[in-house]
Amino acid sequence: MTREEVLEKVSKKREEFISWYHEFHQIPELGFEEKETTELICEKLTGMGIHPLRLDPTGVTAYVGPHDAYTVGLRADIDGLRVSEDTDLPFQSKHPGKMHACGHDGHITGLLGAASILKEMESELTVRVKLIFQPSEENTKGAKQIISQGILEDVDEVFGLHLFSFIGKGGHAAKPHQCVDATVMAADFVMNVQTIVARELDPIEGAVVTVGSLKSGTQYNIISGKAVLEGTCRSYSEDVAQHLQDAIRRRAEAVADSYGGNVKIAYEQGSHPPVLNDAALSRRIADEAEQLLENRKLVHIAPLMLGEDFSWYQKEVPGVFAFVGCGTPGRKCYPNHHPKFEVEESALSDGVLLHLAAVVSAMHREKEE
């Protein structure tokens, strides 16, 4: 399984990868509803001679390579979003109001592409590969759900990736903005929480408090009796996460009290922990990936406030999560979750190559031992 062979196989299958991507792009489904997607993944795997195992209620796992060998998990998330597609693409979503606006169709393609090549070279594999097509990443429930089904019990290390457009403004909850409304108590609270990060946290610690939605009142001349606010907090450590939760509660109660009102708080603690890459594994996979990506360099990016339930895998086994840039040079680029979000199709092969780099690097690891 030389580098040249891998690169040749990937470039030969380029068009096939793009056509798979188009197929999956047309059938976006929401978390835990990915029935059609699950069936199409199973169909593709079966066509490659790989035996798919369906997860409950959706999602798929499968093995390639020798039994009882060191096992590398490769994970792709498969769900779409409640977004109405607004691109000019000829292969638009056939499911009204739903869209693969986060590139998970490209993640499925990347993992299927890697699977097809690994299957062809199966006799040369000295590690076993476990393919993990995970449902329901967007609502951060999928990883936990399938880990509880024992998915990681026979996995020694895990790799995942995300297509990401690195240009663009707004649209994503992780990019902080202020939301101001006329309803006095809610507005006061919204302003108040803005100073949690500025005044309560160590300036070296990163955190975001975003109120993304504020609904209040029914009509211009009736004083609103109820305001509903929804938001999200992001941070890199569990201590800071706990501090944010305590501070939100304390400040909400203080604001309500000062107006003689009441407040009810539903705080879903830790929808997932922060994604933290294993340092040694990152180096090992990055070394291999740089070779496979030929003259292109990997870049180390500063920590981001995006959420990813890949972190649950990393709680169980050493894991690495990578980004693949998917903007098209010279074309206006929209952020993930935007109705005009598009994936540059050459990024699909990069995704395949990164998955393969994780497997090849694990094979080299065995030789070193």
Q: How far is the CB of 164 from Zn ion (least distance, A)?
A: 8
Q: Single out the segment in contact with Zn ion by CB under 5 A; choices: 30-38, 40-48, 90-98, 101-109.
A: 101-109
Q: Single out the segment in contact with Zn ion by CB under 5 A; choices: 98-106, 199-207, 210-218, 290-298.
A: 98-106
Q: Which is nearer to Zn ion, 14 or 337 (CB)?
A: 337
Distance, CA of 205 to CA of 96 (rounded, Å): 41
Q: Single out the segment in contact with Zn ion by CB under 5 A; choices: 87-95, 100-108, 228-236, 263-271.
A: 100-108
Distance, CA of 136 to CA of 132 (rounded, Å): 13
Q: Which is nearer to Zn ion, 102 or 354 (CB)?
A: 102
Could you tell me how many residues make up the chain?
A: 369
Q: Single out the segment in contact with Zn ion by CB under 5 A; choices: 94-102, 122-130, 166-174, 278-286.
A: 94-102
Q: Determine contact, residues 343/103, Cβ cutoff 8 Å.
A: yes
Q: How far is the CB of 335 from Zn ion (least distance, A)?
A: 10
Q: Single out the segment in contact with Zn ion by CB under 5 A; choices: 96-104, 171-179, 185-193, 360-368.
A: 96-104
Q: Determine contact, residues 336/102, Cβ cutoff 8 Å.
A: yes
The single residue among 55, 72, 102, 286 that binds Zn ion, judged by CB under 5 A, is 102
Distance, CA of 335 to CA of 181 (rounded, Å): 26
197 token code pair:
């990060």
DSSP state of 175: S
Q: How far is the CB of 214 from Zn ion (least distance, A)?
A: 22
Q: Which is nearer to Zn ion, 343 or 360 (CB)?
A: 343
Q: Which is nearer to Zn ion, 13 or 75 (CB)?
A: 75
Q: Which is nearer to Zn ion, 355 or 365 (CB)?
A: 355
Phi/psi zone of residue 258: left (φ > 0), alpha (ψ -120 to 50 degrees), beta? alpha
Q: Which is nearer to Zn ion, 102 or 281 (CB)?
A: 102
Q: How far is the CB of 172 from Zn ion (least distance, A)?
A: 8
Q: How far is the CB of 138 from Zn ion (least distance, A)?
A: 5
Q: Which is nearer to Zn ion, 102 or 322 (CB)?
A: 102
Number of residues in contact with Zn ion under rule CB under 5 A:
1
Interface pattern 131-160 for Zn ion (x via CB under 5 A) = ------------------------------
Q: How far is the CB of 101 from Zn ion (least distance, A)?
A: 7
Residues near 134 by beta carbon (within 8 Å), at least 6 away in sequence: 59, 75, 76, 77, 78, 142, 143, 146
Q: How far is the CB of 167 from Zn ion (least distance, A)?
A: 17
Residues near 285 by beta carbon (within 8 Å), at least 6 away in sequence: 159, 320, 322, 354, 357, 358, 361
Binders of Zn ion among 298-337, rule CB under 5 A?
Answer: none
SS3 292: helix
- The dihedral over CA atoms of 31, 35, 39, 40, expressed in degrees to the nearest 10, equals -60
272 token code pair:
């997932």
Binders of Zn ion among 161-200, rule CB under 5 A?
Answer: none
Query: What distances in angstroms separate CA 318 from CA 98, 191, 277, 280, one per listed residue?
Result: 34, 40, 8, 9
Residues near 47 by beta carbon (within 8 Å), at least 6 away in sequence: none
Nearest residue to Zn ion, scored by beta-carbon proximity:
102
How does 317-345 read in b/e, with b if 16+ C-beta sit within 10 Å? bbbbbbbbebbeeeeebbbbbbebbbbbb
Q: How far is the CB of 102 from Zn ion (least distance, A)?
A: 3
Q: Which is nearer to Zn ion, 153 or 230 (CB)?
A: 230
Q: Which is nearer to Zn ion, 115 or 324 (CB)?
A: 324
Q: How far is the CB of 355 from Zn ion (least distance, A)?
A: 16
- DSSP letter for each residue of 220-264: TTS--S-EEEEEEEEESSHHHHHHHHHHHHHHHHHHHHHTT----
Q: Which residues bind Zn ion (CB under 5 A)?
A: 102
